[in-house]
């Protein structure tokens, strides 16, 4: 596809963005296609008999690159799911894992279904049957392919899938590692539920910590001084909004869901809004804000940072000129189409790309997978030992100085790390390191030209993937 061609599908859009980065690499003929093409895609169809009817469901699982195993990526349950989505999202997973240094290949899949139309009993039957179809073809297993939640799926579906895998492979001691994003009671890890939103927060913190990045993008002040609009109030959008408000004191001025959005220049109380939505199912009627039925128009309001955290293609040819934010942090996968991406870059809008910003989910999934293979919670061996060591240090200081160590220092030193502390520390480290690398690459590449973050991110990923694939003689 040439630079000027307009990509028609999600997969083409991703492919165009990768091509832009590939232009900076000296690659042998054919290598581009070898890296971009999905290794394998499976489509399954299966009937389910309900009390009064039989329905046929269609699902997909794509493995974009198995240069590292297992291949990793979510399962999406959505009426718009198709093979193109599976392939595009699987490719994003490959690049994402490489950027944040997670030793997985990329995969993604899903079922074409509107989960709202089925009750829990029906969803369980459909999910278990879909899992069965994938398991028997080796498209789910701890060693080869490990799903996680995405749009329309959650801990609940992951629990059903894991149990289906265990029932088929009772001899597999590592069955818990066949999915990530499970409930903690079934071997999930603390911090996975909110990991993607937490990662979005850490990405923005990393950006503002690096003063030159924020200044270059035209920002004054820190993250806490910014006004933010968030599209999507599901797993990713809600936690990102909550943490940015609670910890960074950023002002969330707009929140958008599929059935409408709310806006307030004074800022929106995210916990109160979340509570309201949980009780009433809508944001309409929430006190002290303006409700807009055509919620996505709120993305066009004045703000400093826009966080699209819903679906792909949210910012496109028809609304891109109205976007006023100076920074777009792509929490969703593929929220800017290729055309929108170009238009935003031309206008000098900074984009932190999806393959970096929403990597928190797969980073913590990696911790969960390792925890499942080791069959032990992180911190279990060392917590009390660290506590005792800390106590000795505090006692030694007090003996030598004849003064008491202030309570807050004592608490911090004496407290042994719990699993959630270690997960947050590991996630923060991965997001900081990846940002540092992206920032360095964008300034060092190509004769004084400063690259955009997306191209820099893809360059980092492509170099790692191409090295691994050529070592394995895959290209």
The least CB distance from residue 97 to ligand NAD, in Å, is 12
Q: Can 58 be counted among the known catalytic residues?
A: no
Provide the binding-site residues for ligand NAD, judged by CB under 6 A. Answer: 149-152, 196, 231-237, 256-258, 295-296, 309-311, 331-333, 358, 361
| Backbone angle region of 267, left / alpha / beta, with phi > 0 → left and psi within -120 to 50 → alpha | left
Contact call for residues 103 and 174 (beta carbons, < 8 A): no
- Cβ closest to ligand NAD, residue 241 vs residue 466: 241
Whether omega before 265 lies within 30 degrees of 0, making that bond cis, reads no
Going by their DSSP bridges, the two strands 305-308 and 227-231 should be labelled as parallel
| 127 annotated ligand binder | no
The least CB distance from residue 400 to ligand NAD, in Å, is 48
Could you tell me the two tokens for 360?
A: 């928190």
- Cβ closest to ligand NAD, residue 311 vs residue 414: 311
| 58 annotated ligand binder | no
Q: How far apart are CA 67 and CA 49, in angstroms?
A: 39
| 94 annotated ligand binder | no
Q: How far apart are CA 182 and CA 186, in angstroms?
A: 6
The least CB distance from residue 454 to ligand NAD, in Å, is 16
The active-site residue out of 36, 58, 108, 117 is 108
Helix (H) or strand (E) holding 113: none
The least CB distance from residue 162 to ligand NAD, in Å, is 16
The least CB distance from residue 295 to ligand NAD, in Å, is 6
- In 215-244, which positions are buried (b, 16+ CB within 10 angstroms) versus exposed (e)? eebebeeebeebbbbbbbbbbbbbbbbbbb
DSSP 71-102: EEEEEEEETT--HHHHHHHHHHHHHHHHHTT-
| 365 annotated ligand binder | yes
- Cβ closest to ligand NAD, residue 13 vs residue 358: 358
The three-point CA angle 346-351-352 to 5° equals 155
Q: How far apart are CA 367 and CA 232, in angstroms?
A: 26
- Cβ closest to ligand NAD, residue 144 vs residue 154: 154
Contact call for residues 254 and 330 (beta carbons, < 8 A): no
Residue number with the smallest Cβ distance to ligand NAD: 234
Cβ neighbours, 10 Å, residue 284: 15
Tell me if residue 108 falls in helix, strand or coil.
strand
- Cβ closest to ligand NAD, residue 240 vs residue 475: 240
- Cβ closest to ligand NAD, residue 113 vs residue 451: 113
The least CB distance from residue 384 to ligand NAD, in Å, is 32
The least CB distance from residue 359 to ligand NAD, in Å, is 8
| 119 annotated ligand binder | no
Give CA separation, 292 vs 257, 262, 271, 283, in Å: 10, 6, 20, 9
Tell me if residue 307 falls in helix, strand or coil.
strand
Q: How far apart are CA 418 and CA 380, in angstroms?
A: 8
Contact call for residues 195 and 427 (beta carbons, < 8 A): yes
Binding residues: 72, 96, 196, 235, 365
Binding residues for substrate: 72, 96, 365
Binding residues for NAD(+): 196, 235
Instruction: Give catalytic residues, as residue numbers.
Output: 108
């Amino acid at each position: 596809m040439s630079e000027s061609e307009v990509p028609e599908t999600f997969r083409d859009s991703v492919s165009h963005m990768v091509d832009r980065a590939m232009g900076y690499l000296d690659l042998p003929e054919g290598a581009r296609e070898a890296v971009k093409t999905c290794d394998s895609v499976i489509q399954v169809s299966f009937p389910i008999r309900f009390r009064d009817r039989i329905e046929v469901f269609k699902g997909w699982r794509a493995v974009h690159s198995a240069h590292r195993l297992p291949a990793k990526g979510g399962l999406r349950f959505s009426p718009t799911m198709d093979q193109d989505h599976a392939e595009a999202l699987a490719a994003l997973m490959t690049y994402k894992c490489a950027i944040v240094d997670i030793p997985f290949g990329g995969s993604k899949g899903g079922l074409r279904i509107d989960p709202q139309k089925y009750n829990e009993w029906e969803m369980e039957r459909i999910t278990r049957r879909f899992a069965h179809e994938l398991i028997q073809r080796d498209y789910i297993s701890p060693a080869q392919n490990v799903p996680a939640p995405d749009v329309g799926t959650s801990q609940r579906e992951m629990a059903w899938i894991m149990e289906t895998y265990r029932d088929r492979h009772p001899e597999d001691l590592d069955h818990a590692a066949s999915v990530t994003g499970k409930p903690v009671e079934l071997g999930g890890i603390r911090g996975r539920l909110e990991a993607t939103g937490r990662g979005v927060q850490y990405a923005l913190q990393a950006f503002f910590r690096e003063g030159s990045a924020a200044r270059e993008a035209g920002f004054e002040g820190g993250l806490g001084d910014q006004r933010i609009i968030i599209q999507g109030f599901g797993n990713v959008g809600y936690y990102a909004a909550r943490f940015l408000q609670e910890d960074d004191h950023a002002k969330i001025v707009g929140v958008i869901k599929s059935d409408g959005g709310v806006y307030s220049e004074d800022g929106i109380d995210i916990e109160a809004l979340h509570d309201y939505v949980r009780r009433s199912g809508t944001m309409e009627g929430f006190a002290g804000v303006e409700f807009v039925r055509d919620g996505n128009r709120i993305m066009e309001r004045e703000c400093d940072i826009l966080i699209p955290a819903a679906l792909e293609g949210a910012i496109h040819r028809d609304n891109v000129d109205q976007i006023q934010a100076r920074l777009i942090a792509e929490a969703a996968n593929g929220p800017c189409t290729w055309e929108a991406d170009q238009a935003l870059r031309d206008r000098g809008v900074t984009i932190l790309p999806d393959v970096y910003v929403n990597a928190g989910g797969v980073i913590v999934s990696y911790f969960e997978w390792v925890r499942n293979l080791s069959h032990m919670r992180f911190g279990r061996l060392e917590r009390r030992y660290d506590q005792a060591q800390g106590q000795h240090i505090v006692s030694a200081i007090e003996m030598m100085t004849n003064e008491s160590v202030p309570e807050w220092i004592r608490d911090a030193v004496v407290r042994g790390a719990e699993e959630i502390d270690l997960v947050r520390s590991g996630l923060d480290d991965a997001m900081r390191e990846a940002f540092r690398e992206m920032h360095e690459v964008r300034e060092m590449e190509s004769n004084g030209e400063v690259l955009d973050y997306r191209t820099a991110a893809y360059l980092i990923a492509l170099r790692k993937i191409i090295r691994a694939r050529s070592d394995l003689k895959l290209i």
